[in-house]
Structure 1
């Protein structure tokens, strides 16, 4: 029995890992991920350059009047109206963030901590609806409040999700009533 044990003890185990090849693959994969990230970043910057004709966003007036409705939630981005995948990134409109919306007779004030705030004058509001998606965010049917407005001759859809989704219906009704009232008063 002794010769068998000696034969087994003398054999050397094969190397389990080829460290040089493994490190090469990890470095290669890391470089590939970095390249993809860099290309995505350049694409985002290029889209912003192409949309550079969009004028500066309006700031809220000093005294906008009493608040009709208020909402806290998330701003999910803006797209060209009717084209839910054509994201607008110019002027910070592509930056997702928390948001506080206030609707007054003067218009819609969007306060975004960590991103640029903007104001949509009442005359620029075109409509509001419930939808299920906007570039970068898809929810259940009616899970997104989409407000259509005009800026620089371009119609824009902006998507919001309230902390309490039950508030969406009231916003759609109030905004559309306000827009219809403004249009009928302007037609006189």
Structure 2
């Protein structure tokens, strides 16, 4: 018997054919990441420019009224979210002038003087009672769509423009009381104006 080791020739051929794993091309990966970051920055910049352009186009809207120092006792109050304002009847035509396009938390207070909207981190505004036109329950406004009746939409006059402002209470059951109160306030103001 021979002491020579047996060599398995087919296994040697397989080992010779195998290649080592390809090394990652870091330069190409970094190039792609930088390109992607630049593309995202460009899209963000274009969106920002569009927002500014829209504000410029809406520059004819007057400054927002401020709340009177003595607005009277609160008829209703609510905390929730402000979802934005649009041109009345055109739920996708967002108003961005004077900070009306900024979504935020909101505290609403309805008095005989009007509707006060306090927004932490954004500009507060006040809608005088004479400017209130109507309130209704709706499902959407400029980029926010909810279940039917999930949004309180208040229509009001600002200068020569009618606006719709959308709010959502932390307790959606409150919406119906707000619709009734604002519409009855508007009806009272209309009746008093006609009597004069």
TM tier, smaller:
over 0.9
Q: Output the CA distance in 1 between the equivalents of 2:193 and 2:53.
A: 39
Equivalent in the alignment of 2:29: 22
Q: Which residue in 2 is equivalent to 1:177?
A: 184
Q: Does 1:35 align with 2:42?
A: yes
Secondary structure in 1 matching 2:53: helix
1:112-143 per-residue CA deviation (whole Å, 9 max, x = no partner) reads 01101010000000000000000020001000
Q: 1:161 aligns with which of 155, 168, 172?
A: 168
Q: CA deviation at 1:26?
A: 1.4
Q: Which has the larger radius of gyration?
A: 2
Provide the TM-score with structure 2 as the length reference. 0.91
Q: Deviations over 1:49-74 (max 9, x none)?
A: 11011111011101000100000000
Structure 1 CA distance for aligned equivalents of residues 104 and 94 of structure 2:
15
Q: CA shift at 1:6, angstroms? A: 8.6
For structure 2, which runs of at least 5 residues remain unmatched after alignment? Answer: 1-6
- Residue 128 of structure 2 corresponds to residue 128 of structure 1: no
Q: Is 2:110 the partner of 1:100?
A: no
1:20 Cα deviation (Å)?
2.1
Aligned residues: 188
In structure 2, the residue matched to 1:77 is 84
TM-score scaled to structure 1, two decimals? 0.95
Which of 140-149 and 25-34 deviates more? 25-34
| SS at structure 2 position matched to 1:185 | helix
Residue 56 of structure 1 pairs with residue 63 of structure 2: yes
